[in-house]
């Protein structure tokens, strides 16, 4: 099962940081990519820089019509909203289907047809908080707490967990080795 995030209502002037947080959260908690309904290459560049260093194949895309993207999605569409059903109630059903997930997170005002187009409207607590928090907890629970433990392929750096302090190792890029016969022939 794959998960992709759709971020609605990104405002170029105001949302650069929060949208970058959202994209990195999507990546760290197991989504394969994020889609925005407004073009912002600054967000894409920030996320790309991190993906190049830390690995994984996370994508950042822009669509001109989010409605088409939602209508054309072959899988379950989950809209995170404080007005939706309790996460505890909805999650068993959502997990039962092995279909891919499109997880919609909005800003302050979300067009009302999102509620109708979504397969599930789900609430991570019925309190005002943060779309970053809602996305993180939703993905953490969707993947049963395992998504933060997975490997990111092709990472150039990696952290060695420490009780105190910081330890990061740089890893050589993994090339497919040349066949030994060819290497030998060069000597």
Distance CA 107, CA 166 (A): 35
Is 36 one of the binding residues for its own copies (CB under 8 A)? no
Complex with its own copies: residue 36 or 54, whichever CB lies closer? 54
Distance CA 142, CA 145 (A): 8
Is 167 one of the binding residues for its own copies (CB under 8 A)? yes
Is 126 one of the binding residues for its own copies (CB under 8 A)? yes
Distance CA 70, CA 54 (A): 29
Using DSSP bridges, classify how beta strands 101-105 and 59-62 pair: parallel, antiparallel or unpaired. unpaired
110, 48, 14, 85 alpha-carbon torsion, rounded to 10°: 30
**Could you give the 3-state DSSP secondary structure of residue 71?**
helix
Q: Mask 69-88, x = binds its own copies (CB under 8 A)?
A: ------------xxxxxxxx
Residue 24 tokens, joined:
């990195």
Complex with its own copies: residue 11 or 183, whichever CB lies closer? 11
| Chain residues 127-156 in contact with its own copies, contact rule CB under 8 A | 127-130, 132-137, 140-141, 145, 147-149, 152
Residues near its own copies (CB under 8 A) are 14, 17-18, 21-22, 24-25, 27-29, 50, 54, 81-89, 112, 115-116, 121, 123-130, 132-137, 140-141, 145, 147-149, 152, 158-159, 161-168
């Amino acid at each position: 099962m794959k998960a992709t995030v759709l971020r609605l209502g990104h405002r170029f002037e105001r949302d650069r940081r929060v949208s970058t947080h959202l994209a990195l959260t999507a990546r760290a908690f197991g989504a394969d990519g994020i889609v925005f309904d407004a073009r912002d290459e600054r967000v894409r560049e920030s996320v790309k820089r991190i993906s190049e260093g830390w690995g994984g194949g996370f994508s950042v895309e822009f669509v001109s019509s989010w409605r088409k993207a939602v209508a054309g999605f072959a899988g379950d569409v989950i809209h995170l909203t404080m007005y939706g059903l309790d996460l505890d109630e909805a999650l068993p059903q959502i997990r039962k289907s092995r279909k891919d997930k499109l997880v919609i997170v909005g800003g302050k005002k979300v067009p009302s047809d999102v509620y109708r187009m979504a397969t599930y409207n789900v609430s991570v607590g019925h309190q005002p908080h943060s779309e970053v928090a809602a996305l993180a907890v939703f993905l953490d629970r969707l993947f049963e707490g395992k998504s933060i433990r997975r490997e990111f392929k092709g990472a150039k750096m990696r952290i060695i967990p420490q009780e105190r302090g910081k330890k990061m190792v740089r890893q050589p890029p993994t090339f497919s080795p040349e066949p030994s016969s060819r290497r030998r022939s060069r000597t």
